Amino acid sequence: MVLNRTQVVDGACAMLDEQGLGGLSMRRLAQDLGVKPGALYYHVASKQDLLVEIAGRILEGRPISTVDARRAAHDIRDALLRVRDGAEVVSFALAFRPDALPGFRELHGLFAARHRSREAGWAARTLVRYVLGFVAEEQNYAELVGTTILDDVPARAEETDDAFRFGVEALVRGLDAVAEQEDT
């Protein structure tokens, strides 16, 4: 079998969806693709680089608004929730290679009109960190329900959506208030 980078990333995405991040290993991926583990490293330098590729795929599935911070937060959440452990993968990728993810570089612009350049970057990262943490908790809860460690609470989904909207609104208003203080 002739292997290419797309097949490696596709296989890793399928494994992530099936096993979660804890079940994603290079050895198992190689086995699933019918190659020796060393063959994978011809296409990706490391598991960390593979996770950055997966994170890029997660975010490519949903365009992130570059004109409205609130919409951007919802777009990111939607993209992350579509993939098992999506928040954990993207969080890792941001720590490992922060400039590698599509859509995230442009978030700075959402705050550039109201904040100085450095603070605009901080504001964008604050918004992203809120979304990542919120979604990580949602995904951990879903995993606990899926393994029957916890019983599902049907009203939780609606309450979770409301709580997310509330948090985004509070965060954006707070960032706007900080910008007003910077101007004085």
> How confident is the model over 84-141, as pLDDT tens digits?
999 999 999 999 998 888 778 788 888 888 888 788 889 999 999 999 999 999 999 8
Q: What is the mean pLDDT of the chain?
A: 90
Does the pLDDT value for residue 152 go beyond 80?
Answer: no
Q: Where are the alpha helices (DSSP H) in the chain?
A: 5-19, 26-33, 37-40, 47-60, 69-81, 86-96, 108-112, 117-146, 156-183
Average pLDDT, stretch 49-69?
92
Average pLDDT, stretch 44-61?
94
Q: Where are the alpha helices (DSSP H) in 22-68?
A: 26-33, 37-40, 47-60
Does the pLDDT value for residue 184 go beyond 70?
Answer: no
Domains, in order of start, for the chain: 1-44 (1.10.10.60), 63-183 (1.10.357.10)
pLDDT of 81 reads 95
Q: pLDDT-derived band of residue 181, with 50, 70 and 90 as boundaries? A: confident
pLDDT of 86 reads 97
User: What are the structure tokens assigned to 126, written together?
Assistant: 């604050």
Q: pLDDT-derived band of residue 183, with 50, 70 and 90 as boundaries? A: low
